[in-house]
A and B are shown apart, each in its own frame.
Chain A
């Protein structure tokens, strides 16, 4: 039997955000006699400095060994109060947060009595959980001052340089024979009209000259072991060489693939129907001709491979907007116009679009294209353009919704399909890194707004278009965000990991390997304990999601902070009658 606990319960008014709809004094009265409660009181704002100091004083004076704060959502202040507990000399994991605002007072502004009763139940559940907490220590792991960057496109090269400039050793691994990625063949790039190959070459030169960056081309990751701060990887370089590397973090900047239209999709496969990458190449070569004849009419079809709907011909649609193509297409219009002028040649441009998404200052590119004479025609997905060929000329039939739905027929020498981005095929890398993918097939961050480059694999960060369609500027911004996270991790020299992870009761465990099969992270290993084989949790690899917990036939595995006894105690405490 555990020793009697001394728990402090602090209920927040949150100004009136809670106390206008929940009688906080009645909540305090309702939980005062609960087992283990030594102190229970209210505060106007528990998060204020003065209240925190009062609570710290009380924790010390009353020798409290557990803490429950009932206030706003834990998403706002759980870490605030964990820090406060620590300052008071209390183990931060013996603190339990109760959500009395978002999940009580604010949801029940119409029923103060009911909300007060619910508040008592919620706080009792928190107390029951707190009574079963035990001190936990964050796992401190040393980090090695070396980083692996996978993918030497513009984003990957920029990341490598920034990490190298911090004094970190960087291994930059590129699958292709040369660094530079898509920019090497992008030709002129908007909106500042830079030459892609020059941008790539400039970064490459700096990389080659950098003391702490090692670039491996024609190279691929073949093995990965270890965890945050200390990964061991093997990289195949060339056909047979293998390099062993030890790094503290990994930045994945593997980029995108361009969408490959299906045969017949907007005329794909017909002579004279090309994609945007091919057209940009044509512009870069400075020629506006096909089969020796000057081009006079060019039609561009936008949203090819983007914003698709499911249909028989498209069973696995890309439902997302590829975001960069409107800018790339309209910028190609201005580049085309400049080349026309240079060659003293006249070309009619028809841009068939669904919506122009040249957001922010990129709108200027669209404005310029229109000013220079490019004709923009809007189509609806119900009536997409149809590209055919007759008498050696391409015909584009479309319905222009902004011209009263008139059916148009455009004769074209060239049709350019403005294709979107696709996630890159990286089966081998995916099986090694195990980064979750979104429904679209791009790598998934932990939180789109708050943790945009971190993945659930600690120490592995995603950058650029490996995460989703982006413009080059956005891609570099994302790479540098990944650099900030990587640098922060590696420069500090250590990292503290959350101890709310799986734990095995070796008395109950019989090593049936169900937990091993349930863990996609490789956090479970077999070990010997006394005279039997049992499961061992590798603390630095375990994510603490709990997928292994319900599959254990012997109830031998738990997640700290969410243990079986704690959940059952919370259920029981929630059901005790609250009499007002």
Chain B
């Protein structure tokens, strides 16, 4: 049944070929994570616009998690560097809008990283809850 306190809402941007299959695998293995986690798949994490992150947080998501292609990216050898640079830009944008940059997380997630994904979600939700209570 639904838990008493609603969990913080997390929007995950995944990548079609790398992290999204990893997130699928968590479901296939019936590993549980919060229903407040929702995924939008993209072709590659280097294509996430900082403005989307800011829009999601300004509109009601409590956190945004970029499940990046990491070193496995089939498109771009410098995918991690590119995605990290976007995260920095997004953090600056969030500060401008008075949104805590802690609401944004990124981690490389491989196509079989189901455990990691579930662990990241649990940890991020814990951090977001703490952030709420400090606000």
Q: Which residues of A contact B (CB under 8 A)?
A: 73-75, 99, 101-111, 113-115, 117-118, 121-122, 125, 436-437, 439, 444, 446-447, 456, 500, 518, 520, 543-547, 549-550, 555, 559, 562, 564, 567-568, 570-572, 574-575
Contacts and interface: CB of A to CB of B under 8 A. Distances in A.
A574 B73 CA distance: 27
A104 B27 contact: yes
Given A102-B28, A549-B49, A111 B1 contact: yes
B97 interface: no
Given A75-B21, A103-B27, A108-B35, A546 B42 contact: yes
A546 B44 contact: yes
B77 A436 contact: yes
> Which 10 residue pairs spanning A and B have beta carbons closest together?
A546-B47, A114-B35, A102-B27, A106-B27, A545-B75, A102-B24, A545-B44, A107-B27, A575-B60, A118-B35
Contact of A574 (B1, B11, B21, B48): B11
Contact of B40 (A105, A456, A570): A570
B95 to A, nearest CB: 18
Contacts of A74: 41
Contacts of B133: none
A109 B33 CA distance: 10
A571 B71 contact: no
* Max chain B C-beta neighbours (<10 A), residue from A125, A545, A562, A568: A545
Contact of A559 (B41, B43, B50): B43
B132 to A, nearest CB: 17
Interface string B20-46: 110111111011111110111111101
Nearest to B86: A550
Interface residues of B, number: 50
A110 B3 CA distance: 11
Nearest to B26: A107
Interface in B53-96: 55-56, 59-61, 71, 73-77, 79, 82, 86, 89
Given A114-B36, A547-B47, A550-B89, 18 more contacts: A75-B20, A99-B39, A103-B39, A113-B1, A114-B2, A114-B3, A125-B38, A437-B77, A545-B75, A545-B76, A547-B82, A550-B49, A559-B43, A562-B42, A564-B52, A567-B49, A571-B11, A571-B55
B42 A550 contact: no
A73 B32 CA distance: 17
B36 to A, nearest CB: 8
Contacts of A550: 46-50, 86, 89
A117 B35 contact: yes
Contacts of B23: 102-103
B86 A446 contact: no
B17 interface: yes
A109 B11 CA distance: 20
* Max chain A C-beta neighbours (<10 A), residue from B3, B23, B43, B52: B43
Nearest to A122: B38
A407 to B, nearest CB: 40
A75 B111 CA distance: 12
B74 A444 contact: yes
A444 B39 CA distance: 27
A571 B1 contact: no
A437 B77 CA distance: 7
Contacts of B56: 571
Contact of A73 (B24, B36, B42, B79): B24
A74 B27 CA distance: 14
B62 to A, nearest CB: 11
Given A102-B27, A110-B32, A564 B49 contact: yes
Contacts of B25: 102
Contacts of A518: 82
A574 B48 CA distance: 18
A75 B76 contact: no
Contacts of B47: 545-547, 549-550, 559, 562
Contacts of A447: 17, 74
